[in-house]
Amino acid sequence: MRDIANKIGVSSVTVSKALNDKDGVSEELKDKIKQLAADMGYRFNSVARSMKDGLSYNIGVVIPERFAGANQFYLHFYEHLSKVLDNHKYYGILQILNVYDEEQLVLPRIYHEKKVDGFIILGQISKPYMELLQQADVPFLFLDFYTDDVDIDAIISDNFYGMYEMTNYLIKQGHDKIAFVGNIYSTSSIQDRFLGYYKSILEHHLQLQEDYVIPDRDRRGTFVDLQLPKDMPTAFVCNCDRVAYILSNKLKEHGYRIPEDCSVVGFDNDIYSTIADPQLTTVEVNVEEMSQAAVKSIIEKVKNPKHTIGRLMVKGRIIHRQSVSAVKQPHSL
Amino acid sequence: MRDIANKIGVSSVTVSKALNDKDGVSEELKDKIKQLAADMGYRFNSVARSMKDGLSYNIGVVIPERFAGANQFYLHFYEHLSKVLDNHKYYGILQILNVYDEEQLVLPRIYHEKKVDGFIILGQISKPYMELLQQADVPFLFLDFYTDDVDIDAIISDNFYGMYEMTNYLIKQGHDKIAFVGNIYSTSSIQDRFLGYYKSILEHHLQLQEDYVIPDRDRRGTFVDLQLPKDMPTAFVCNCDRVAYILSNKLKEHGYRIPEDCSVVGFDNDIYSTIADPQLTTVEVNVEEMSQAAVKSIIEKVKNPKHTIGRLMVKGRIIHRQSVSAVKQPHSL
DNA sequence: CTGAAAGCGCTTACAG
DNA sequence: CTGAAAGCGCTTACAG
């Protein structure tokens, strides 16, 4: 292509400079060159640029299989990431990490073929896979989860305080029998949300009954049947909207009215919170801001592999809907 | 990297051949080279290959903004595409086409930078934008919609027969007052589904009352309030699950029971069909097979720009759930 | 302000 | 079975 542009009698160097608006070419020449390029339908070849500076300008977004599919939340997240990447002249390549590859510790082909300059890992992966990544020769960061290893950069929503504030809110509404729904050993997010809930419980000197922590899934993430406590709580704090939705249906089946008989709250503000009847009060995850932060950080790390951001928390906020009501006889303090 | 592989005393040509399992290298040498490459943590540079053969091995998947976001169906579709592309040693780059770019007729940057070898357009785009694409120097095909221009390759679900069979089924259940819900001017899919419905109506000599075609959205795709006919139908055929879900809620608000008072069916078999209460009988779109076909076709077109597939229909099938019941007093034939 | 030269890491004929 | 040469389309020093 560039040769053809030479047909106005300049070298390819000059054309390159003109098209990239670099110094060392007169304005008139630049305009003339740009004009001709447009007329000729010239398209820049980003591959050649990549060849030169060793950067693909692609970022791999890795979503473990179990979080994709039914759970559209991460796909929605990916959509945001892809837009933000675009704004930074980068592109996202989605990589669903299947169970087999995760267990067998095989890195995706986009790694082996140097298709990407870095990875955003969206959704908790196994410990051994984390170690595999660390040995690999590519920058990466965790999005929406983290690990106890402080050296790994992670961007997470503020699960702890989000749930802490949500539980505080319920207690202010007079609730004192509050259950938590979620397997507290399955992901760091769920665990932190539980701990935020627990902090609120402790601060208010409430009792944490054993059967008030209700597992929602097994270790592999498969949902299990929810066991309602014998002594019914007045409020359920669910680790995510989807489970809150499932719980709502179950409660209604058992003849409980929401929010009159018990309140239900979720987390994420995803589709399930608006689909539930009544709609769920929940904590909104700031996907937009998290995406911005993730993209900025990974690009920074591509430029400077030593760059580190540590653990970045992004605040959410409570969205009030119809699934919470004050307790009839407020608890006396 | 390859230079380093030279350290066993062969040329880069031999290494290239060995790693690509080409003829002209002894098996022993091949093994030795592969072994060393693995030990040294050699990573193939796909950019250089792209440079050489002028192919990026990326396919751009373009989703118009209005179909993304709330409607996770296309995102889900993208997930499938991305997996299938992976299996074909290709990669997908998601491009959300925003309203502005579509109106101003600007092609995405992945086109201008030769980032992709072809486009899969997932979701109906405006006529002028179609023409723009045709002038562009890149193969593309339409997925899940088509246009009257026969020259443009398109892969669609069999909307017409899907809805035709669904309506037949309702009529067999004794329904004779069947309404269609959907703006029949907004997309080719909806129009075809309507026509399938209409064919069934005609074949059974039923009357198509004017207010039995209920618009669900305006031209821009924004949902509008559904107008229930004065003379209530016994069944509603909705152009998609989401609208069927919305309608279900509206009917229940008005005191109608589903399916006792009226049956409701959808199309797509997406999340809305299982979220609705009762769950919806619907037509499942074969996303898997459509993805396979789309990927195969676009790669074929990349290799041979003259290759054409025309309009490919992929069959769906009826999924039976609880939103349909036979009419109490069956219509006498 | 302009351009000749070199190089990014591969692969494809072609010659030995 | 093996390798020297050329080239894909850019950009980056460097020299004029």
Instruction: Tell me how far apart the alpha carbons of residues B123 and A129 are, in angstroms, rounded to a whole number.
Output: 36
Residue A249 lies in a domain: yes
The residues near B73 (Cβ < 8 Å, ≥ 6 apart) are B67, B268, B270
**pLDDT on residue A331:** 47
Distance CA B130, CA B60 (A): 15
Nucleotide showing the shortest C1' distance to residue A114 CA: C9
By C-alpha distance, which of B117, B120, B114, B172 is closest to B145? B120
- For residue A22, the model assigns a pLDDT of 84
Instruction: Give helix B12-19 / helix B27-39 axis angle, nearest 10°.
Output: 90
Handedness of CA B219, B223, B224, B229 (dihedral sign): positive
Would you say the C-alpha torsion A288, A125, B81, B318 has a positive or negative sign? negative
pLDDT score of B332? 47
Residue A102 included in any domain? yes
Give the C-alpha distances (Å, rounded to integers) separating B299 from B95, B144, B186, B292, B307.
18, 18, 30, 11, 10
Closest of B94, B109, B104 to residue B129, by C-alpha: B104
Residues 6+ apart with CB under 8 A from A124: A64, A67, A145, A187, A188, A189
CATH (domain of A66) = 3.40.50.2300
Residues A163 and A136 both lie in one domain: no
Domain assignment present for A327? no
C-alpha B220/C-alpha B186 separation (Å) is 8
- Check whether the bond before A278 is cis (ω within 30° of 0): yes
Contact B192, B160 (CB under 8 A): yes
Q: Enumerate the residues of chain A whose CB falls inside 8 A of the CB of residue B106.
A: none
Query: Protein footprint on strand D: which nucleotides are under 7 Å from a CB?
Result: 1-5, 7-13
Distances (CA, A) of A135 to A121, A128, A166, A308, A317: 15, 11, 39, 17, 37
The residue of A94, A112, A120, A253 whose CB has the most chain B CBs within 10 angstroms, and thus the best one to mutate to test that interface, is A94
With a 7 Å cutoff on the CB, does A4 touch strand D? no
| Any A CB within 8 A of B86 CB | yes
Tell me the backbone φ, ψ of residue B259, rounded to 5 degrees: -95, 5
Q: Do A43 and B93 touch (CB under 8 A)?
A: no
Q: Note whether B163 and B245 are same-domain residues.
A: yes
What pLDDT, on a 0 to 100 scale, did the predictor assign at position B331?
A: 47
What pLDDT is recorded for position A153? 94
pTM score of the predicted model:
0.85
In a 3-state reduction of DSSP, which class is residue B217?
strand
Chain B environment of A70 (Cβ under 8 Å): 271
Let me know if residue A320 belongs to a domain.
Answer: no
Chain A residues lying within 8 Å of B82, measured CB to CB: 94-96
Same domain, yes or no, for B153 and B165? no
**Interface membership of B269 toward A (CB under 8 Å):** no
CATH number at residue A26: 1.10.260
Distances (CA, A) of A181 to A157, A194, A253, A285, B213: 19, 9, 18, 18, 44
Residues B74 and B85 in one domain: yes
Q: Which of residues 208-227 of B touch A (CB under 8 A)?
A: none
Inter-chain residue contact A137 with B41, CB threshold 8 Å: yes
Same domain, A165 and A272: yes
Q: Which parts of chain A register pLDDT below 70?
A: 1-6, 69-71, 329-333
- Are A207 and A269 found together in one domain? yes
- Give the SS3 label for residue A204: coil
Distance CA A325, CA A174 (A): 9
Q: What is the pLDDT along chain B (333 residues), one digit of tens a residue?
A: 666 666 778 888 888 888 888 887 888 888 888 888 888 888 899 999 999 989 999 999 999 998 876 667 899 899 999 999 999 999 999 999 999 999 999 999 999 999 999 999 999 999 999 999 999 999 999 999 988 877 899 999 999 999 999 999 999 999 999 999 999 998 888 999 999 999 999 999 998 999 999 999 998 889 999 999 999 999 999 999 999 999 999 999 999 999 999 999 999 998 899 989 899 999 999 999 999 999 999 999 999 989 999 999 998 999 999 999 998 764 444
Residues B256 and B169 in one domain: yes
pLDDT for the residue B40 = 84
Which residue segment(s) compose the domain that A266 sits in?
159-285
| Chain A: closest CA distance from residue B208 (Å) | 33
Query: Are the beta carbons of B245 and B280 closer than 8 angstroms?
Result: yes
Strands (E), B43-191: 58-64, 91-97, 118-122, 140-143, 154-157, 178-181
In this structure, the answer to whether residues B257 and B299 fall within a common structural domain is: no
In a domain, A329, yes or no: no
Looking at the structure, do residues B181 and B281 belong to the same domain, yes or no? yes
Whether residue A245 is found in the same domain as residue A212: yes
Judge if B61 and B200 occupy the same domain: no
* Full DSSP string of B94-117: EEEE-HHHHHTT---HHHHTT--S
Q: What's the pLDDT at A332?
A: 47
| Residue A49 in domain | no
Pair (A241, A281) in one structural domain: yes
Q: What is the pLDDT of residue A104?
A: 97
Measuring CA to CA, how many Å separate A265 from each of A66, A215, A244, A247, A323? 24, 16, 7, 10, 7
Which residue, of A270, A285, A300, is where some domain finishes? A285
The count of CB pairs under 8 A between chains A and B is 100
Is residue B332 in a domain? no
Number of domains in chain B: 3
Note whether A115 contacts B79, CB cutoff 8 Å.
Answer: no
Task: Give percent helix, percent strand, percent coil of chain A, each to the nearest 5.
Answer: 40, 15, 40
Q: Quick check: is A330 in a domain?
A: no
Give the end-to-end CA distance of chain A in Å, rounded to a whole number. Answer: 79
